[in-house]
């Protein structure tokens, strides 16, 4: 009778160990998939935000080239600082200063907007067409200026 009881206890312990091992393996796989999906989502959000700031800076700089007196000195300095923050943004998502760099870029963007770019942009109609081809980003910009000199 003792052997029968021992074999039942052994079977139960073996089943528990096997179930634990299977659950651990399945949990690791599910965790990796979920982590990958979350990483892709957050990376996309981050890339979209940085790309937005970069696109705005490019458009404003092109606009300034077409209208040299369009930006005040303060706005030009702020735009230059924003461009520097964009260039120095780490390409490696594992880099320790990523969040600080993003916060700095956000701050520079807000400063640039405060430097008269927002009021000038409101007085302009910008139509941008981004065309990707041959590894080049071509920005075609047309603008209709309404009292641009007064906005500065």
Average pLDDT value for residue range 87-94: 88
Residue 126 C-alpha from the chain's centroid = 23
Measure CA of the first residue to CA of the last residue in the chain; give whole Å: 98
Of the listed ranges 2-6, 67-71, 80-84, the one predicted with least confidence: 2-6
pTM over 0.85: no
Q: Where are the domains of the chain?
A: 2-151
Report CA Rg, the chain. 28
CB of 97 closer than 8 Å to CB of 90: yes
Q: In the structure encoding, which two tokens stand for residue 51, read together?
A: 């790309």
Tell me the two tokens of residue 107. 């701050």
Question: Residue 120: its pLDDT value, please?
Answer: 52
- What value does the mean pLDDT of the chain take? 75
Are 80 and 64 within 8 A, CB to CB?
Answer: no
Q: pLDDT tens for residues 128-147?
A: 334 333 333 444 444 444 43
Does the pLDDT value for residue 116 go beyond 70? no
Angle at 128 between CA 122 and CA 130, to 5 degrees: 150
Closest CA to 62 of 79, 86, 84: 79
Which two structure tokens, joined as six digits, stand for 41? Answer: 């989502």
């Amino acid at each position: 009778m003792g052997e029968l009881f021992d074999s039942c206890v052994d079977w139960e312990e073996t089943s528990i160990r096997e179930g634990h091992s299977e659950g651990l393996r399945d949990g690791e796989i599910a965790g990796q998939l979920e982590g990958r999906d979350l990483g892709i989502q957050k990376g996309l959000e981050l890339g979209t935000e940085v790309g937005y700031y970069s696109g705005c800076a490019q458009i404003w700089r092109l606009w300034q080239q077409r209208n040299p007196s369009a930006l005040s000195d303060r706005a030009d300095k702020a735009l230059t600082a924003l461009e520097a923050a964009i260039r120095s943004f780490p390409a490696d998502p594992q880099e320790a200063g990523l969040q600080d760099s993003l916060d700095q870029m956000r701050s520079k963007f807000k400063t640039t907007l405060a430097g008269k770019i927002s009021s000038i942009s409101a007085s302009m109609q910008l139509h941008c067409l981004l065309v990707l081809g041959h590894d080049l980003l071509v920005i075609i910009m047309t603008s209709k200026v309404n009292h641009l000199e007064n906005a500065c």
